[in-house]
Amino acid sequence: MIQSPKGGAPRWVWILLLVIALLAGTGGGLFIGLKREAPVIEPVTQEDPKLQEEIARKLGEARIAVGEGDWLLARSLFEEVRELDPDNPDALASLPLIDRRLDEAEGSIVVTTEPPGAEVSIPGAGVFQSPATISGLPLGEHQVTIAMEGYESVERKISISSESPVVMDSIELARSAGQLEVVSDPVGAEYKLLKTIKNDQKELVQIGSTPALIEKLDPGEYEVLFAVEGWPEYSETVQVENNRNASVSAVFSQGGLSVKSDPTGAEVWIENEEGVPELRGTTPVSVRDLPVGRQKVELRYQDWPPITRSVEIVQGVTEKMEFSWERAWVKFTSDPPGVPVFKEGKRLGDGRQVTPFEVEFLEGDYAFRAQHPQLGVVEEKIYVDADAGSAEVAFRFPYGSVRLTSEPSGAAVIANGTPLGRTPLQLPVLPPGSYTYELRKDQYRSSSVSGVLEPGGSLNFTASLIYDPQPTTSRSFTNGLGQKMVWIAELGGWVAAYETTQAQYERITGKNPSYFPAPNHPVESVNWYDAARFCEALTVQERGAGRIPEGFRYRLPTDSEWSRFVGGQKLDGAVTSLFELKKSTAPVGSLKANEFGIYDARGNVWEWVSDWYSQTIVRRIRKDGATPNTDWVGTDRKVLRGGAWNRSDQYDLAVGNRMAARPSAEDRYDVGFRVVLMQD
């Protein structure tokens, strides 16, 4: 475990270094010109002005991002340039500096709230009080939670892309409000809602008729006046609190039993003459025609314990009964937030709520359990005191954070076989314990880091990956000559995606025998011996640079290998004169590739293979449905496959047809070759 360095170079120093790198990159790259041989420049850069325009646009945007200190955006743009132009000197020179800058870059978030004094929490950073400036945050996304008693919580995702402080607009916290349910029996009673203000003065809030649900009321004392024609006005006083449902009710009847409850909606059960409880309605309710004498009344509400009382029923008199459950609000919070809470195996809330949230409970002892998908279970016990009005249960999970960086960045991070992302990677919530991570990147040796994460602690891993140009089996790669080599599992090796170009041939041999000279056209007029010597020289060069797996070498394909990698290539995707007369070869890759990603497997130029024209070849030609030339057997001719640009006859161009030529023949301007990388 290596701690990330603190207190790095000022931002202007990094920008100056990047400007120098960009200027040097334009002339050949800060490091490329010194340490690497320049790759072959193919005519794509000349023939595709739109691509060049796109590369120039992205480079311009990247330079602007560097000037503004937006390192993440600058890195993304330079990576996009490399995808369009892998050897772009500006991108190659700038990316290592940007990656080093990102390793030490830290941002900050400025939070102000109205009213001030709210708690501001960021996982892995701690809890602060607004107005607050939270510094030392890694670049990337952060979850910001703002909470204050009596106000609704606010959650925001903030993205930090540079070292400039991210200023959150002043957060106006919405005050939590209560609501009041107004009901009557019978329904339709007119009501007036009055709020008690200073000096016992009353302020009219609302007029309506029952039933009604009045939402978003400020906390305080209210008076509700009920009126029904023919009855005296009825008054009730009620206290409205934040985040709490209050209720008030009135019953207008001529006898029997009038029952009200807080909260309303409770079931009223009264025993009949046989002593069996019967449901007589829900509060508020007026029950008539009850027998004179003592009656047992029971109120039931949700899963709360029922309330039971006895009442004496008198003829012509309406007895009034009021019931109330002693209860309080319980607020559930957790660190980190966002977990469900359970009581006796049942999830609290509406089945979707996660911390922080509130639920109303009766007075008493309770045990709660919070469950985090990564951090396990935390249990808490509490006594809910109705007189206190509210309580809080805070679940604190033991956890820490892990940050992984690499040089170069962009390495895949893998734990227990599961990909987690690419460096730089922040894992803000992890349970304590031992951790091992593997970092992988193409053409670099894998590296492992490990450490023990303590509760509340953090691990910072930095890995310097060692460059290893040797290709990996099962993956395609580009060799030092700029040839794209395609892995074909059935052959157990690589096949060049394109026929060998004149520029590539000249780099190895120092000469170009082609009749139609053009750097990106296939080399032609080359005899079999020179093609084989090219493969040997390429093997020596690549083996010396460590770019060939042990036991592999470059060579010409065999006849059977060629028959496999030609795939399903059709003539309408080949450079021939079958449909339109051609005057010369065409640039390699002018038409679409086959299913393996191999271009010009048919057409453009005949391709030398390693086999002699023999009885074995004759049998293969007949098996493929073509016509062999038996006169060539035993005449020391090498096999040619695939047809050429100047062929217009279906017989010549048949995929099963084999042409033959003496290995010393070098006046054939329609003959070239393709290399393969196979085991010896």
Residue 178 tokens, joined: 């209560």
* Per-residue pLDDT band at 21 (split at 50, 70, 90): low
Question: How many CB atoms lie under 10 A from the CB of residue 536?
Answer: 13
Is the pLDDT assigned to residue 497 strictly greater than 50?
yes
Residues 268, 417 within the same domain: no
Number of domains in the chain: 6
pLDDT attached to residue 81: 87
More confident position, 313 or 374:
374
Contacts of 40 (CB under 8 A, 6+ apart): 481, 482, 501, 503, 504, 507, 519
Residues 490, 567 within the same domain: yes
* Helices then strands, each counted (H, E), the chain: 11, 46
Domain of 375 in residue numbering reads as: 327-396
What percent of the chain is predicted at pLDDT more than 90? Answer: 47
- The CA-atom distances, in angstroms, between 105 and each of 61, 135, 470, 570 are 21, 11, 33, 54
pLDDT attached to residue 14: 54
Rounded Cα–Cα distance for residues 75 and 59 (Å): 11
Residue 677 tokens, joined: 């990388």
pLDDT attached to residue 300: 92
pLDDT attached to residue 492: 94
Residues 506, 651 within the same domain: yes
Side-chain half-sphere exposure of 99, counting CA atoms within 13 A: 23
Q: Is residue 165 in a domain?
A: yes
pLDDT attached to residue 166: 87
Side-chain half-sphere exposure of 520, counting CA atoms within 13 A: 14
Ramachandran angles phi, psi of 101, nearest 5°: -65, -40
Taking the C-alpha atoms of 343, 345, 351 and 357 in order, what is their torsion angle to the nearest 10 degrees? 20
The pTM of this model reads 0.42
Residues 425, 502 within the same domain: no
Residues 364, 282 within the same domain: no
Residues 615, 508 within the same domain: yes
Residues 484, 589 within the same domain: yes
Residues 484, 516 within the same domain: yes
Mean pLDDT of the chain: 86
Residues 139, 183 within the same domain: no
Last residue of a domain, one of 412, 443, 464: 464
Is the pLDDT assigned to residue 451 strictly greater than 50?
yes
pLDDT attached to residue 471: 76
Contact between 538 and 675 (Cβ < 8 Å): yes
More confident position, 465 or 389:
465
More confident position, 432 or 71:
432
pLDDT attached to residue 475: 86
pLDDT attached to residue 15: 59
103-138: per-residue pLDDT in tens?
A: 767 788 899 998 898 898 998 888 898 898 888 888
Ramachandran angles phi, psi of 623, nearest 5°: -65, -35
Rounded Cα–Cα distance for residues 172 and 152 (Å): 10
186-229: per-residue pLDDT in tens?
A: 788 999 999 988 777 888 989 999 999 998 888 888 999 998 87
More confident position, 75 or 357:
357
390-421: per-residue pLDDT in tens?
A: 899 999 999 999 999 999 999 999 999 899 99
573-609: per-residue pLDDT in tens?
A: 899 999 999 999 999 999 999 999 999 999 999 999 9
Q: Is residue 618 in a domain?
A: yes
Instruction: Provide the residue type at 98 as one letter.
Output: I
Average pLDDT over residues 469-492: 88
Residues 216, 295 within the same domain: yes
Last residue of a domain, one of 324, 355, 381: 324
